[in-house]
Amino acid sequence: MKRLLALLMVTAAALTWAAESPPETTAIISNVTVVDGTGAPARKGAVRIAGNRIVAVGDLLPEKNEIIIDGGGKVLAPGFIDTHSHHDADIAESRDMVAVTSQGVTTIIVGQDGKSPSPLADFYTKIDESPIAVNIGSYSGHNTLREQGMNAARRAATDEEVARMSQLLEEDLAAGAFGLSTGLVYETGNFSTPAEVLALAKVSASHGGRYISHIRNEGFELMPALQEVIEIGRQTGMPVHVSHLKIAAKRLWGTSDKVLTLLNDARASGVDITADVYPYTYWQSTMRVMFPHQDYSDRKGLAFMLMESTPPDGLHFVKYAPDPTVVGETLAEIAKERGGHPVDVYLDLMKKVIDYENAHPDEERVEAIVGKSMHEDDIIRFMTWEHSNICSDGMSLGHPRGHGTFPRVLGHYVREKKVMTLEQAVHKMTGLAAKHLGITDRGTLAPGSAADLVLFDPETIMDRATLEKPTTLSSGIEKVWVNGKLVFQERRTTGVRPGVIVRAAKGAGS
Ligand SMILES: [Zn+2]
């Protein structure tokens, strides 16, 4: 009887305790090399997670009733954060986001290059209702604001239009946008004046937001284009970020030191300027970027770009709705088949795109090209700059960066070329990326941080996606967790979709 009473009392106590704080099953990922995202040296250890959070990191022993995951001696790092992603384009196809998770990426930031889901609040409601496998955040895009606020007019905005766009921007910021993004080579941001951009940037700054920019020119006018970003940082006091820093003009190859001097000098004078970089010598964009003056029948401008930036044999068509048979071919090959000069052939292909767009006004992304115009030495210098982080600029379509970026940095640039240490590279994919977004609860392995994790083999990690086969999955990524849930293992997504919306931390100005 005594024993029964004692048992009852214990049971009651347990029940009371359970009601007060439900015991959470913890899991320990043990037997791993911890690379914690801060840049600190790797160390052997384990990570314990409870629910969607990390609760302990270090020399841990499994506890009773704990789920034990053997990491097999591989590297455990914070899930990678892609600060410049177009993978929101993949959501319609599959919310599993295999292009993203298969790289170890657990958070994507979209709304880039001036184009964003609009209104952002509605987009976020849809994601909340039907989540995706990874976390997602967004900027508010200037060109999208121009569509909504001034009917995408191909001219600079009036004061009244700036006021209207400011209001739309404020709505996106209130929904959690990280700030203003611009795409100043794209329609119709390419018609904006620096004053218009600055006025909108000030709105972002006054709400504690940030500024991120695909700058006006990545070739011969690179330096003045960077000056515009620096000036915005100086005048607003907010952090400014250069998207996919590159030198896309042959004659300027090798001048990356000069570019970094400009950025370092700006930093020394108090401007918080940073950048992201993707690890490829070729870009992906629209055919229109080959026309420097927003005139898509400009023969001279196009000829200059084919001569000085992207040669016909380095210009690949990856999407072309008016005639899909040219997909996979270079401009040089198409010109040869048609017996024409590459400039004439390109002008003709461009004209057909415009006709096609006019006939199909609702169709998005009618064409896409990949162009080779960078030198690897410049990429390495930019990638190893203390204030740059890694981004993909990718999506499933076209460029292999959509599937390969992060493993490529770890395999090609860290293991093979040894341009930086594994710890530095991981920092540029995690802790530093988070810092460039103002996120504090992701990007490092620390108690209290979100349990976004990637387990990978540093000896085999490598991108496998190529221009010919851009969707081939990388090797070496073993397991990926988002908010404590396994989303990818054994080269497959698990079908679990634990991603949440990542919102900007509210700054002092808001
Ligand atoms: Zn861009």
pLDDT tens figures, 138-179: 999 999 999 999 999 999 999 999 999 999 999 999 999 999
Between the CA of 60 and the centroid of ligand 1 the distance, in Å, is 43
Between the CA of 20 and the centroid of ligand 1 the distance, in Å, is 50
Question: Quick one: tokens of 108?
Answer: 């994507």
Averaged pLDDT, 213-224? 95
Between the CA of 185 and the centroid of ligand 1 the distance, in Å, is 9
Query: What are the extents of the domains in the chain?
Result: 78-294+370-444, 295-369
Between the CA of 468 and the centroid of ligand 1 the distance, in Å, is 22
Between the CA of 329 and the centroid of ligand 1 the distance, in Å, is 23
Cα Rg of the chain, angstroms: 24
Between the CA of 86 and the centroid of ligand 1 the distance, in Å, is 9
How are beta strands 26-34 and 43-50 bridged, if at all?
A: antiparallel
Tracing tokens 């841990």 back to the chain, one arrives at 60
Q: Does residue 160 sit in helix, strand or coil?
A: helix
Between the CA of 278 and the centroid of ligand 1 the distance, in Å, is 11
DSSP class of residue 250 equals G
- Topology at the third CATH level for domain 78-294+370-444: TIM Barrel (3.20.20)
Residue 465 has pLDDT above 70, yes or no: yes
Averaged pLDDT, 302-307? 96
Where residue 438 falls (left for φ over 0; alpha for ψ -120 to 50; beta otherwise) is left
Residue 469 has pLDDT above 50, yes or no: yes
Which of these, 398, 185, 147, 193, lies nearest to 288 by C-alpha position? 185
Phi, psi (5° rounding) for residue 77?
-130, 165
pLDDT value of position 18:
43
Residue 490 has pLDDT above 70, yes or no: yes
Give the separation between CA 362 and CA 191, rounded to whole angstroms. Answer: 22
- Confidence bin at 293 (pLDDT 50/70/90): confident
In percent, the amount of the chain with pLDDT more than 90 equals 92
Give the separation between CA 99 and CA 101, rounded to whole angstroms. Answer: 6
Between the CA of 332 and the centroid of ligand 1 the distance, in Å, is 25
Between the CA of 243 and the centroid of ligand 1 the distance, in Å, is 6
Q: CA torsion sign, 126 to 129 to 134 to 140? A: positive
Mean pLDDT, the chain, whole residue set: 94
Between the CA of 245 and the centroid of ligand 1 the distance, in Å, is 9
pTM reported for the whole predicted model = 0.92
Q: Return the beta strands (E) in 131-233 as ranges.
A: 135-138, 140-141, 179-183, 210-214
Between the CA of 300 and the centroid of ligand 1 the distance, in Å, is 24
pLDDT value of position 4:
52
- Confidence bin at 84 (pLDDT 50/70/90): very high
- List the shell of residues around ion ligand 1, using CB closer than 5 Å: 113, 214
Tracing tokens 């770890």 back to the chain, one arrives at 410
Angle between helix 142-150 and 194-206 (nearest 10): 100
Between the CA of 484 and the centroid of ligand 1 the distance, in Å, is 32
Question: Quick one: tokens of 425?
Answer: 């590279």
Which of these, 466, 491, 487, lies nearest to 478 by C-alpha position? 491
Between the CA of 242 and the centroid of ligand 1 the distance, in Å, is 10
Between the CA of 183 and the centroid of ligand 1 the distance, in Å, is 7
Q: Does residue 481 sit in helix, strand or coil?
A: strand
Between the CA of 176 and the centroid of ligand 1 the distance, in Å, is 21
Between the CA of 98 and the centroid of ligand 1 the distance, in Å, is 22
pLDDT value of position 21:
53
Between the CA of 26 and the centroid of ligand 1 the distance, in Å, is 41
Q: Does residue 57 sit in helix, strand or coil?
A: strand
Averaged pLDDT, 283-306? 94
DSSP class of residue 391 equals -
Residue 73 has pLDDT above 80, yes or no: yes
- Confidence bin at 24 (pLDDT 50/70/90): confident
